[in-house]
Structure 1
Amino acid sequence: MSKFDFGQMPDREGFFGEFGGQIIPPELKKIMDEIDQAYEEIRQKPEFQEELASLLTDFVGRPSPIYYARRLTEKLGGARIFLKREDLNHTGAHKINHCLGEALLAKYMGKTKVIAETGAGQHGVALATACALVGIPCEIHMGQVDIEKEHPNVTKMKILGCKLVPVTRGTATLKDAVDSAFEEYLKDPVSYIYAIGSVVGPHPFPKMVRDFQCVIGQEARQQFQEKEGKLPNYITACVGGGSNAMGLFTAFLNDDDVNIVGVEPAGKGLATTEHSATLTLGKPSEIHGMKCYVLEDENGEPMPVHSIASGLDYPGVGPQHSYLKELGRVNYETASDEECLDAFMTLSQVEGIIPALESSHAVAWAMRKAAELPSDQTILVNLSGRGDKDADYVANKLGL
């Protein structure tokens, strides 16, 4: 019996403890409630479950394997490191798991356009892919800084037929892309649907995205037990908004012997203002229709944030992560840009696996932790995406 009692999360109003909810105008609340109702209806339908399961198997390529990183483990000494290979999914990351669900929901609801934001471009590529598959128009908003940094994904989105909207306001990164996409959505929320790319935003999106991503942890729990005859001692994933992390963590929340660690970007250092360590240095506040931990400036506005990984530079975080931090069930730690680059290159050259810069934060923490632990301990890392999109950027940065 777990010492934690999570109950039904979220509650009917969309709260995880004090976090979450719908901090939105009344007219938008009606729309969100309709989405929630449609989601609860569609998820009960056997034909929806069968179609989604079939696509996850035959289109995405699930289940993704668990891989023992033997050479990395031997190099570091200490605990054995395992990787949940979400990088092997079609489109190269975990994002396709919830994008298929959201695209099918949009089609079920008769929406005429799917709108979304993207940071690193993985959500954008996955959503454009899913929309092409189900035959519904797609519009992606992306910060100009990220467009220049993640050019391969920009090209893929255009090839897949989506409309790409560059965002030049503010820092021209993820937070500004969210603002821009939401403004477009508000022009016609009855006909459009905003397919949020993480476990953030107003209810029901933190719940829906988590539910679609839970396949990661469900698979991993069974796979690890089959491989090792027990559960891992530690599981870890990077956290920006937090969808890949919730996808892994949910299946293990009631396993008290499993230590759960989310890894945030320390960027150029926690003593600077150039980081995205929301749960580490932020405080409870409101952003993008929800209550969660937020990094704010002296005026109470969301702080300009930084991470070498475009998918992690967000000043808020999923409300369920905020709740799990308060409960003490999940520990949230950090990895710097420098550690992330080192993990990126080490995994590439020792295991022949090029990880996304986002995922490299979790790899960096695992490398640091493994050396402190005895060899009978195990660490399972959610390798949430592949690094094709980051290869040119890293090569230029390191002068390769």
Structure 2
Amino acid sequence: MKDERLWMWFTRIPRIGIAKQRYLLEIFKTPERIWNSSEEELRSCSRLSQRDITSIIQSKNPNKIQKWLEELKNKNIQFYSMDHPCYPTLLKKIYDPPYVIYAKGKKSLIEETTISIVGARRCSEYGRQMAFYMGKELGSRGITVVSGMARGVDSASHKGTLAGKGRTVAVLGSGVDICYPAENKKLYEEIIEQGVVLSEFPPGTMPKPAFFPMRNRIISGLSQGILIVEAAHRSGSLITADQALEQGRDVYAIPGNITSSLSQGTNHLIQQGAKLVMKVEDILEDIDTQLFDFTESKKEVFEKDQGSPLEKEEKIVYDCLSLDPISIDQLCQKTGHSPGMLQHILLVLELKGRVKKVSSQWFVRNEN
């Protein structure tokens, strides 16, 4: 039986989790030797219970493996073990790489220049727009953006990358055939069409809380650097940043409002030595420009999408806006315009895609 099939069998043995998988490989070295092991040999393994041994023996079913392969073919899912030449090089170098990965989409993207973007699920409008903006900027410059397709920052970074005609990788805490959260169905389909969805979990695996920290090490492991957009003082994003540091990756952070709980984590990272990012060039200058091709055609598409030029009065109002919401009253004080004139100018800016209304009287820049 081919090694790839044995890797698939080995990682899907019931009751045998990652710790016991690692233990078995320390003893037998390869899945093939485990497959060929006798019950007596398995009994000599002190950390295996009788139930573990029974589970291993009963799982040696070639017909079941063939059904798994047929399922992958029917669902257009690729499978790669650590021994496969298509297994991501960067991921293979981390301390605890997944033994196998499942992929759906354009798997070749995994080996391109990659930056991951992660952050809060319940992010602010500032966080969402910054994630979209950075994803779009990186994607338009030929950088593949990796994230986890979660709500908030993750989803915004994927959407921004796709809007910039870029390529993106979503690492899931479920099987690659399971869209989670369900509200991201359209985004999930777009990523498969223009990027790739990855997971170490077999098809059909439903998401569980314990799976997401496991997924996070893959997000950072696939990337040359990781950008944290918004994160509370104790959050999964900071755990991912710690994993990235352990993996020898560069860590970047976007600063935020010092009074916002969502900025405590990113601001703390900057205090601890993470590189402060105010523009995409802060990341690009750390990447070997020979690794990616920012072609003229991509540049034209990117620049064409920046919107119509602004009239003088529109520019005055636009320059007063930022990614933090501002009220019409505040704009009146800054510009000297009447509320009625401001309403008219803001409406024009909305139609040009430069401004977004967050409530009846509050507005932000639209970097999308």
TM-score by length of 2: 0.30
TM-score by length of 1: 0.28
- Larger Cα Rg: Structure 1 or Structure 2? 2
Indicate the structure with greater strand content. 1
Greater relative CO (CA pairs within 8 A, separation 6+):
1
